[in-house]
């Protein structure tokens, strides 16, 4: 993910490569769904300790027996390389509550963004206000699982588009606002501060006014009952309309460091982490319990390849 306080200038080749990967995933999900057939293997279930056997085949089972239906905690940990004299890595860490239902091998996820944390660059920490995160709204994403009834169960999701400071009819394909076009009618002002787009707070004293789109697709596998881990592809477009001071408006070249992207999905038992006993997982509860299901990676500049002369 491009850091919100950086004006992204990705190379054309890297951008096309990410777009091609995302389009490939989208093509998979837009294909016709074949009619269901009888399974070759009988349904199997794992014991609570996770013996390494396959998860139970879910077609036709009730939601209470389904290994995927329910509430999940999600963490995405994106790697971005920034060129500031040399290459440095910064990490974008996001927490989401996911409510999952399914039909056959198709999973239907409602994702709610709860927190976005960005590792500092030169000591400058970027804060995305709650009003901006709330404006993203619940994201409806279709995913799939392949290989149920075997040892390896694969998971992949269709492209997900998160918009900040802008609304679109088609969030994945519609063009971004033109640079400097603060009159674009699609711009929003989630903080109601009178500035175009979303306002990000950088370093505690600078405000950056942007329209931003993040498009990502996840690919992983079931590593144990109720836990999915993997990586994915991720691309960010950002249009900057101004800043309160020059320090956070400086442009830097960045690129998405695909080999080092990570995500985890953890299915929660009924009532787990429900500290206020309201029958659901709230964002505050997810943030409080994040250490129980995810370990964030620290930035490591050695993960960023040296730019060739």
Phi, psi (deg, nearest 5) at residue 285: -70, -40
pTM over 0.85: no
| 87 contacts: CB under 8 Å, gap ≥ 6 | 81, 301, 304, 305, 306, 307
**pLDDT score at 306:** 78
**Tens place of pLDDT for every residue, the chain, 309 residues?**
444 443 433 333 333 334 344 444 444 444 444 333 333 233 333 333 333 333 333 333 334 579 999 999 999 999 999 887 788 999 999 999 999 999 988 999 999 999 998 898 878 888 899 999 999 989 999 999 999 989 999 999 999 999 999 999 999 999 999 988 999 999 999 999 999 999 999 888 899 999 999 999 999 999 999 999 999 999 989 999 999 988 787 777 888 999 999 999 999 999 999 999 999 999 999 999 999 999 999 999 999 987 643
Distance CA 301, CA 91 (A): 11
**pLDDT score at 247:** 76
Distance CA 165, CA 273 (A): 32
Which stretches of 41-153 are assigned E, i.e. beta strand?
A: 70-84, 86-103, 106-118, 126-127, 139-146
- Determine contact, residues 221/264, Cβ cutoff 8 Å: no
DSSP letters along 19-72, please? HHHHHHHHHHHHSPPPPP---SS------TT--SPPPPP-TT--TTT-SSSEEE
Q: Which residue has the tokens 């993910």?
A: 1
Locate 263 and state its tokens. Answer: 């995500």
Distance CA 74, CA 80 (A): 20
**pLDDT score at 11:** 34
């Amino acid at each position: 993910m491009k850091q919100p306080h950086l004006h992204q200038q990705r190379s054309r080749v890297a951008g096309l490569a990410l777009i091609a990967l995302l389009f490939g995933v989208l093509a998979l999900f837009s294909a016709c769904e074949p009619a269901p057939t009888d399974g070759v293997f009988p349904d199997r279930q794992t014991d609570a300790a996770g013996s390494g056997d396959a998860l139970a085949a879910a077609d036709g089972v009730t939601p209470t027996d389904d290994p995927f239906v329910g509430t999940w905690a999600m963490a995405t940990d994106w790697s971005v390389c920034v060129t500031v004299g040399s290459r440095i890595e910064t990490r974008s860490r996001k927490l989401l509550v996911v409510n999952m239902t399914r039909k056959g091998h198709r999973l239907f996820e409602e994702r709610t963004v709860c927190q976005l944390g960005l590792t500092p660059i030169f000591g400058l920490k970027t804060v995305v206000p709650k009003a901006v995160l709330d404006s993203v709204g619940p994201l409806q994403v279709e995913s799939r699982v392949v290989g149920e009834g075997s040892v390896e169960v694969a998971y992949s999701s269709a492209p997900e588009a998160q918009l900040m400071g802008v609304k679109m009819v088609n969030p994945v394909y519609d063009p971004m606002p033109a640079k400097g076009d603060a009159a674009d009618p699609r711009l929003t002002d989630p903080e109601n501060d009178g500035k175009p787009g979303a306002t990000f707070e950088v370093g505690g004293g600078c405000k950056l006014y942007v329209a931003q789109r993040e498009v990502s697709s996840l690919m992983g596998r079931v590593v144990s009952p109720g836990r999915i881990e993997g990586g994915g592809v991720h691309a960010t477009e950002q249009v900057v309309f101004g800043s309160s001071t020059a320090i956070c408006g400086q442009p830097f070249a960045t690129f998405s460091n695909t080999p080092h992207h990570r995500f985890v999905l953890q299915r929660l038992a009924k009532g787990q982490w429900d500290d206020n006993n309201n029958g659901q997982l709230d964002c505050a509860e997810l943030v409080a319990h994040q250490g129980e299901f995810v370990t964030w990676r620290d930035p490591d500049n050695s993960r960023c390849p040296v730019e060739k002369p």
